[in-house]
Amino acid sequence: MIKLFRSYNPLNMLWLALVLILLRITFLSAIPIKEEFPFAELFSRLHLPSSYQYVFPPGLDLFLAGCLVYGQALLINYLVNYHNLLGRSTFLPALTYVTASSLFPPFLMLGAPLVCNFLVIWMLFKLFSFYKGEDIKSTSYDLGMIVAVGTLFYLPFIYLFLTIWLALVVFRPFNWREWVACIIGFATIFFFLAVSYYLSDRMQQFYDIWLPLAAKFKVVISFNYYNYLVLIPVIIILVLGFFKLQQNFFKSYVQTRKSLQLLMMMFLIAGFSFYIRPDFHLDHFLLCAIPAAIFFAYYFLYANYRWFYESLYIILLASIIYFQFNTF
């Protein structure tokens, strides 16, 4: 399987679709009868019809989520190859994203984090352009607006604003105008939202939407450890990927090294931003799937022993399918 996707062959798009179906068809028997789709936060939800959460029937929900994941996988594959993040063209980023976005049953359903991954991909295209850009103030402004739009859909997305500043640190010499431009872009979206609240005499509700940002971190989070055993092969692949990346780090181009560093920081920011949600759901970690998939692909592309990396991927696939059938 991995050997097949190591090559950049258009026929791999068909194999990718088959892997996507394999990882999701086993979940058909466990689809909730009525699945809520809260794709907007409270402050933007007030402008939508009250019944929008249940607009999709369960089967259609799963199908649309699969279509979104397939489209995102192809975009990520194009992003990685266009910026030469792995050193050569391959279809592995698409395969690993389809796999990473199927780890847990909540990942398989339509939700705000899945929709926001399109914005993450858009952000990465613009962030990676910082390295060779001469005047990036307009790009920085656009990125601020993208984060603001993502925040309308999913509040934890606001923390990805930090990745803009981190990208400016990693890719650019200091220019205060570029730092301020992204703030203005972010404020532009919420300025018009505040105006709509002001005109409807609901400014107090606009102030209340920011309260979760000051919430205390929940030290104790209860969960069933058996449901997360699927993460064992994931952790092994990530660790091996980081070791392989360390070995080849200084053999890569400067832009590639900086881009991979930015992806690592984005992975950490997206992962730790879950705590501001009072009603935390596991699908939040779909925001981590894009950088994780790229690190997965890096390992599988440069791994030496075929029997080992093929077996490791098959174990991961088997674990995902097994835990879709079994809940402890």
Conformation bin of residue 237: beta by default, left when phi > 0, alpha when psi is -120 to 50? alpha
CA distances from 64 to 110, 114, 265 (A): 7, 11, 30
Domains in the chain: boundaries: 2-325
Helix (H) or strand (E) holding 309: helix 306-325
Q: 210: closest CA among 255, 158, 174?
A: 158
The burial of 24, by beta-carbon neighbours within 10 Å (0-12 exposed, 13-18 middle, 19 or more buried), is given as: buried
The single-letter code of the amino acid at 255 is Q
Q: Is the distance from CB of 91 to CB of 9 less than 8 angstroms?
A: yes
Q: Which residue has the higher pLDDT, 155 or 166?
A: 166
Assign 244 to helix, strand or coil.
helix
Angle among Cα 256, 77, 93 to the nearest 5 degrees reads 80
Provide the pLDDT confidence category of residue 62 given band limits of 50, 70 and 90: confident
Q: What is the pLDDT of residue 306?
A: 86
pTM for the whole structure: 0.88
Mean pLDDT over the full length of the chain: 82
Q: Which residue has the higher pLDDT, 295 or 215?
A: 295
The single-letter code of the amino acid at 246 is Q
Q: 159: closest CA among 242, 10, 271?
A: 271
Is the pLDDT reported for residue 71 higher than 90?
Answer: yes
**Distance between CA atoms of residues 150 and 133, nearest Å:** 24
**Distance between CA atoms of residues 157 and 137, nearest Å:** 22
Q: 297: closest CA among 309, 314, 282?
A: 309
Q: Is the distance from CB of 230 to CB of 319 less than 8 angstroms?
A: yes
Q: What is the pLDDT of residue 92?
A: 92
Is the pLDDT reported for residue 278 higher than 70?
Answer: no
Q: What is the pLDDT of residue 38?
A: 55
The single-letter code of the amino acid at 318 is A
Helix (H) or strand (E) holding 80: helix 58-82
Q: What is the pLDDT of residue 297?
A: 92
Q: What is the pLDDT of residue 80?
A: 93
CA distances from 277 to 117, 119, 137, 152, 304 (A): 18, 20, 32, 14, 42
How big is the chain, counted in residues?
Answer: 328
Q: 284: closest CA among 157, 161, 151, 124?
A: 157
Q: What is the pLDDT of residue 117?
A: 94
Neighbours of 10 (CB within 10 A): 7
Least confident piece of the model among 75-79, 231-235, 247-251, 286-290:
247-251
Specify the long-range contacts of residues 44-53, CB closer than 8 Å, at least 24 apart: 44/152, 44/153, 44/193, 46/202, 46/205, 47/196
